[in-house]
Structure formats: structure tokens, C-alpha cells
Amino acid sequence: MQNIPSVDLLDFLSDDHNKKQKFVNDLGKAYENIGFVALKGHFLNDALVDKLYTQVKDFFDLPTKTKRSYEQDNGGQRGYISFGKESAKGKKEGDLKEFWHFGQYVENNPQLKAEYPENITVKELPEFNSIGKETYKMLEKTGVYVLRALALFLELDEHYFDNYVANGNSILRPIHYPPILEEPKNAVRAAAHGDINLITLLMGAQGKGLQVQNHNGDWIDAMAAPDEIVINVGDMLSRHSNNRLKSTIHRVVNPPKENWGSSRYSIPFFLHPISDMPLNCLENCVDKNHPKQFDDITAGAYLNERLIELGLIPSPKEK
């Protein structure tokens, strides 16, 4: 396999039962085998994407002092996270990136609104937050339909995930990988890792850099067409499906030395459920040939464990 499979969400949305079923099968098989697909037919349009990239580039071009004024003590859940602050699990060196977090826009749920940190408004860029919110909503809508297809693949009710992801703790993360100014000391733009959440929808995989690891341990360039976004399984969905759907290790490698002077931007959307969703292994994914691999845990407790591992919040011992 030289690249990741491509699927079209319009097939799932069509009135043609055969097209819909083929999408379900192709998506599910891809996630069983490598954990990544390239998806066209999503709800983003070119004009919105162009506006977002303009705003993101303008933000990361702001003076460092200005950007750091938006860095708050919220475990990296909202606002700005400065260069090198996040590291992959088991990795001492910080990744060569800075990023921003847009979080959930809670509707009709005061309890969750109180649980999540508030989004942070960038005063210098009047359109930054509104365009970020619009993108967030379109990627969230896309993710809901992908999860509906996966529910059918797992022989669940099509709307099984709907109430878990409505007002979920999802994150839109515009990332800037700045130009590399000197030989990195054992650091890459994003070290090998698996994502925490249910699924990740990634904008900006049109150029080389993102790589996924297949079952043989080989690294494969995950490149999408301009009209596609890359979507991968996260650890929460892998746990919930008893590892039937694979959360594949991936990384963002440093470019060839002649391209060190260039910035790279990518914008993943991490689709999370609400905190009290049980991630217990689904009964129909457990049998004598596939014994239960994971302990019961809620999404909130699991997220907290992983944020400690990433160095974004202190462990109880450090408090």
C-alpha cells in the first residue's frame, strides 16, 4: 500500500442504498487495516478554507509577546500553546510547533458550558474567531456522518454516537511549524504518536510531511488531493471497538534541509465525545478470538490521563 484509501462522503449521503453500503464497507475496512482515509464530499468549501488559512497565518505572524498574551493556564485546552511546549508520549523533546485551540460552542447544556474553558478572542484579528467557529462547525458536521457510517459498520444503530458527540469536548487546532533555523536535536515537527480522541479530521495534508505507519512498521506518506481531508481513528474509538478499528501511529517529519526555511501549516479537528461517555469495549467487538483488551474508563478520565502524559497538565503528584 503506497497511500491511504480514498472515499466520498456524498456516497453515504445519497439515496442509493448500494452506494451508502459500499461507503460503510470501504470506510470500515480502511480503519481495520490502516486507520486512515482521505475523504472528499465533506462540508468545507474552498472559500472558507482560504479564509481560515489567511487568518491562521496572520495570527502566527503576530509578535511572540502578543501571541503569548493568549496563552492561559487551562491545560492547553483553549487559546495559544507556544513553540515546543507539547511533546509526544514518552518523548522528552518538545515538538517543533506552536498552535491554537478553538473549543466547543456549547448549546443548551449549562453543565457542559461550565465544564469547558471559554474560547479566547483575538483582538488583533476581528475575523479570526468567527471563521474559526464556522470551520469548527463544518468539520464537526462531517465527523458526525463519518461516525454514523462507522456505527453501521460495527452493527450498531446508525445514530449511536450522535448524543455522545453533541456538545462534545472537540478541538480545532491550527498548527504552525516554523522554519527550522538550526539542526534539530532529536526533535521533529510532530513525533510519532496516536491521537487521543474518537476521530481526527485533518486539513492541509496536500504536501509531504505527514506519515502513517502500516502493520509492517513501514512509514507511508499520507497525502490527500486538494478537495480531500484526511481522517484517522483515535485511541478512544480504538478502545471502544476493542482495537477492531485501528488508531494508527503517525508523525510529521522535518522537510529536506533545502526546505527548512519554509513554514508548514496544518489544521486538525479532534472530535471528542462528552466526558461521561463510557469507552468500555463494545460487546459485539469481544469474543473468544478477540478477548477484551482494555479496562473500562470514561472519555473524561482517559483524556485527563493523556494530557498528563503530554505534559499539558500536571500529574496529581506535581500539584
Mean pLDDT for the stretch of residues 182-192: 60
What letters, b where the CB count within 10 A reaches 16 and e where it falls short, cover 234-261? bbbbbbbbbbbbbbbbbbbbbbeeeeee
Tell me the C-alpha distance between 9 and 108, whole Å.
29
Residue 88: is its pLDDT beyond 50? no
Across the chain, what does the average pLDDT equal? Answer: 87
- The answer to whether 234 and 270 have CB atoms below 8 angstroms apart is yes
Residue 48: is its pLDDT beyond 70? yes
What is the pTM assigned to this prediction?
Answer: 0.89
CATH domain 6-318 topology: Jelly Rolls (2.60.120)
Cell output for 105: 460552542
Cell output for 308: 498528563
Read off the pLDDT of residues 259-296 as tens digits, 9 standing for 90 and up. 667 788 889 999 999 999 999 999 999 999 999 999 99
Nearest to 96 by CA among 182, 171, 206, 36: 182
Q: What percent of the chain has pLDDT over 70?
A: 85
Q: What does residue 265 show for φ and ψ, rounded to 5 degrees?
A: -125, 140
